[in-house]
């Protein structure tokens, strides 16, 4: 057995000689658009065609140099460097590309579109693929890949730090691991993406390190509180979008995020969150969700997805089958959702089904148990007790529910496998083996690459995992890569052009405008006892008080009214601080919570706000900086607004709203609970001036 595993491991070492001589082993030139799995779309009478060299060993690379393009009918379409423009006349043309040794062609039709008789005629372009075995390049690639290369495609580790230092540039050790394990992808974190120039260079270096197939360069750029790019446009977040009720804004936000990622070379986003946040006690989803309505989450989530994928960046719906109705953070423990399939299809699964039907590229699984879907019990390695199998590792959830019942055939990716919900109860190798057997395609952030690869190889050799099961995943991964243009190029990118474009796109004024519109339309006026909008005379004093992110709120308010003071306090004030507030004409209390205890009336933060309400004469206005539920802790406040996040645009929009420069139009995307089960404020509630 040991000798067999060692024999299998031999291909892990990169064959540099083969790589160096790969240019002499070209066997064909084809157009990517002729590949059966690739979806083609003509937009605004234009389509860009991509030429690929196919090599003897089955792999393929993008080719751009020394090509000749031609069209058989210029009246239908013209072509320049693969960019096809329809001329507007009816008919068919063949676009041909040749490198002098090999050639390929594809048909473009332009004909009247189907429509009701009385409407004015319109015309549409259509791509007609060529047929033949030469275009089955995914099948050919898989046939020629070693088992190590196939397994490598399914692994997506992070290199957040190396020897205690943040990884912001390619290191020889990391480059070697990309090659040695034939990695299919890498996930980046905030520590890795500091500046636009540095990020674009790092991503390009990762792609250069990949030997045969392009890397899925992935990131969690959700917007709002989960935002990784330090030089990008933050966006106000999903629940803020839920408050706007605007699918158009959601599309624009997804598109802007996609444009920034694409400019940096990042081709996959682990977003949007499609969890239905119908549990106010949820400690990990909260404002990352669009709201508590499955229909709202689906509508805005699909719009965000379409905006994101319109830029060529793959979208990922998460966290399947739904993390919204949980009271445990899966980073820390193993949450449970107790509902049966009928209820799940109506609520938790509804947005995911809509996203699947709309063509989302990938779905991320949740480390959450669903005992009514899978009641399998396993022995926890933590304490030897019997626990339910989490969705991430469940064949009944991933294959039975997602693949068979819901009809999804895109890429399945796990949530991070280094989270406590997995690491405490399953060993790192066992977790990956279980996930692959369950039906996952990509293991995200597995713990210990060498051990995991060895474990998977042994599982294949013993028959615990079939080669067919591995190849199913590789086919899906390569299909995704081809559709998103994640393909190795024979020519290194012109980094000067890449950087110039990235600097123009990332954090652009156009994207800042989208961010501002979303933030302003999200601000929700929940309560107003005649105190808002503020219209203070020059001499009137406003005091902003609070702790977490309070300086950001203070600066935004002070920009509108110079006579504004700040008191940084996380709990009830002493006599001296109270005396300081006696001269205040208005008090703005900013509160920040993310769990149940934070908004409890007994918490220090809520005691502070209630002290202000009870002991001072000046009107008190509460601002829920993160969760809209904060008013539960101080319901007697004079005015209350929700802003759903702590990014700069949200503070600016909040200040503009406080002073009447922005009329609040946001509607609550969640119900704010009151006492005895009755709502304090209903879903959809929102006031205006």
Catalytic residue annotation = 331, 415
Q: DSSP assignment of 582-642, as one string?
A: TT-SEEEEEE--SSTGGGSTTSHHHHHHHHHHHH-SS-EEEEESS-GGGGGG-TT-SEEEE
Supply the angle between the helices 428-438 and 449-462 in degrees, to the nearest 10: 50
Query: CA Rg, the chain, in Å?
Result: 28
* 100 burial level (CB within 10 Å; 0-12, 13-18, 19+): exposed
Q: Which residue has the tokens 């990131």?
A: 219
Cβ neighbours of 125 (radius 10 Å): 23
Strand residues in 38-122 grouped as ranges (E): 46-48, 51-55, 60-63, 68-71, 77-80, 83-86, 91-98, 103-112
Name 271's Cβ contacts closer than 8 Å, sequence gap at least 6. Answer: 220, 221, 222, 223, 257, 304, 308, 315, 316, 318
* 669 burial level (CB within 10 Å; 0-12, 13-18, 19+): buried
Query: How many angstroms separate the CA atoms of 689 and 679, rounded?
Result: 23
DSSP bridge partners of 53: 29, 61
Query: How many angstroms separate the CA atoms of 469 and 453, rounded?
Result: 16
DSSP annotation of 507 reads: T
Residue 253 CA: distances (Å) to CA of 78, 304, 415: 34, 7, 23
- The helix (run of H) or strand (run of E) holding residue 443 is strand 443-444
Cis peptide before 319 (omega within 30 of 0): yes
**Vertex 500: Cα angle to 494 and 506 (nearest 5):** 120
Q: DSSP assignment of 450-499, as one string?
A: HHHHHHHHHHHHHTSS-HHHHHHHHHHHHHHHHHTT---BSS---HHHHH
* 531 burial level (CB within 10 Å; 0-12, 13-18, 19+): middle
Query: How many angstroms separate the CA atoms of 565 and 568, rounded?
Result: 10
Under a CB-based contact definition with an 8 Å cutoff, are residues 523 and 642 in contact?
A: yes
């Amino acid at each position: 057995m040991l000798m067999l595993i060692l024999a299998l491991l031999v291909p892990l070492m990169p064959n540099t000689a083969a790589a160096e001589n790969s240019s002499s082993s070209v066997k064909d030139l084809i157009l990517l658009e002729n590949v059966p799995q690739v979806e083609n779309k003509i937009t605004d009478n234009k389509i860009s065609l991509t030429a690929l060299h196919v090599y003897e060993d089955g792999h393929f690379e993008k080719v751009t140099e020394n090509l000749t393009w031609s069209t058989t009918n210029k009246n239908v379409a013209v072509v320049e460097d693969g960019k096809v423009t329809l001329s507007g006349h009816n008919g068919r043309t063949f676009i041909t590309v040749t490198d002098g040794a090999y050639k390929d062609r594809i048909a473009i039709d332009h004909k009247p579109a189907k429509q009701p008789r009385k409407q004015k005629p319109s015309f549409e372009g259509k791509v007609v693929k060529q047929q033949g075995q030469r275009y089955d390049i995914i099948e050919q690639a898989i046939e020629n890949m070693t088992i190590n290369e196939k397994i490598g495609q399914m692994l997506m580790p992070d290199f957040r730090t190396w020897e205690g230092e943040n990884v912001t540039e390619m290191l020889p050790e990391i480059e070697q691991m990309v090659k040695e394990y034939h990695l299919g992808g890498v996930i980046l974190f905030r520590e890795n993406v500091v500046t636009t120039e540095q990020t674009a260079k790092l991503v390009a270096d990762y792609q250069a390190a990949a030997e045969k197939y392009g890397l899925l360069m992935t990131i969690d750029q959700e917007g709002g509180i989960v935002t990784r790019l330090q030089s990008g446009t933050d966006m106000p977040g999903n629940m803020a979008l839920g408050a706007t009720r605007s699918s158009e804004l959601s599309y624009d936000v997804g598109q802007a995020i996609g444009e920034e990622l694409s400019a940096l070379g990042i081709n996959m986003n682990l977003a949007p969150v499609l969890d239905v946040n119908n549990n106010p006690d949820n400690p990990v989803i909260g404002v990352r969700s669009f709201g508590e309505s499955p229909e709202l989450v689906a509508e805005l989530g699909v719009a965000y997805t379409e905006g994101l994928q319109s830029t060529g960046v793959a979208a990922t719906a998460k966290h399947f089958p739904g993390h919204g109705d949980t009271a445990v953070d899966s980073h820390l423990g193993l949450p449970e959702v107790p509902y049966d399939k009928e209820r799940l299809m109506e609520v938790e699964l509804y947005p995911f089904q809509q996203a699947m039907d709309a063509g989302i590229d990938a779905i991320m699984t949740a480390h959450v148990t669903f005992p009514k879907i899978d009641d399998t019990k396993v022995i926890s390695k933590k304490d030897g007790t019997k626990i339910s199998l989490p969705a991430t590792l469940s064949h009944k959830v991933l294959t039975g529910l997602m693949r068979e019942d819901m009809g999804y055939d895109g890429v399945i990716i796990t949530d991070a496998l280094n989270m406590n919900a997995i690491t405490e109860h399953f060993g790192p190798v066992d977790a990956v083996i279980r996930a692959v057997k369950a039906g996952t395609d990509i293991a995200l952030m597995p713990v210990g690459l060498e051990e995991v690869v060895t474990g998977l190889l042994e599982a294949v050799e013993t028959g615990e995992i079939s080669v067919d099961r591995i190849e199913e995943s590789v086919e899906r991964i390569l299909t995704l890569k081809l559709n998103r243009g994640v393909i190795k190029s024979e020519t290194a990118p012109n980094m000067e052009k890449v950087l110039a474009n990235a600097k123009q796109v990332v954090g652009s004024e156009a994207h800042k405008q989208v961010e501002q519109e979303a933030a302003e339309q999200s601000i929700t006026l929940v309560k107003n006892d005649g105190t808002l909008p503020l219209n203070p005379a020059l001499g009137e004093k406003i005091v902003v008080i609070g702790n977490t992110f309070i300086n950001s709120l203070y600066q935004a308010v002070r920009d509108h009214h110079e006579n504004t003071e700040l008191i940084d306090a996380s709990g009830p004030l002493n006599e001296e601080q109270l005396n300081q507030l006696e001269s205040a004409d208005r008090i703005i209390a900013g509160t920040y919570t993310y769990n149940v205890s934070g908004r409890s009336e007994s918490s220090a933060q809520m005691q502070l706000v209630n002290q202000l309400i009870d002991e001072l004469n000046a009107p008190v206005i509460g601002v829920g900086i993160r969760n809209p539920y904060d008013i539960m802790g101080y319901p007697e406040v004079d005015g209350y607004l929700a802003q759903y996040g702590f990014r700069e645009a949200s503070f600016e929009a909040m200040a503009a709203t406080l002073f009447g420069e922005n009329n609040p139009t946001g509607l609550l995307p969640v119900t704010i609970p009151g006492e005895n089960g009755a709502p304090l404020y209903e879903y959809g509630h929102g006031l205006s001036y």
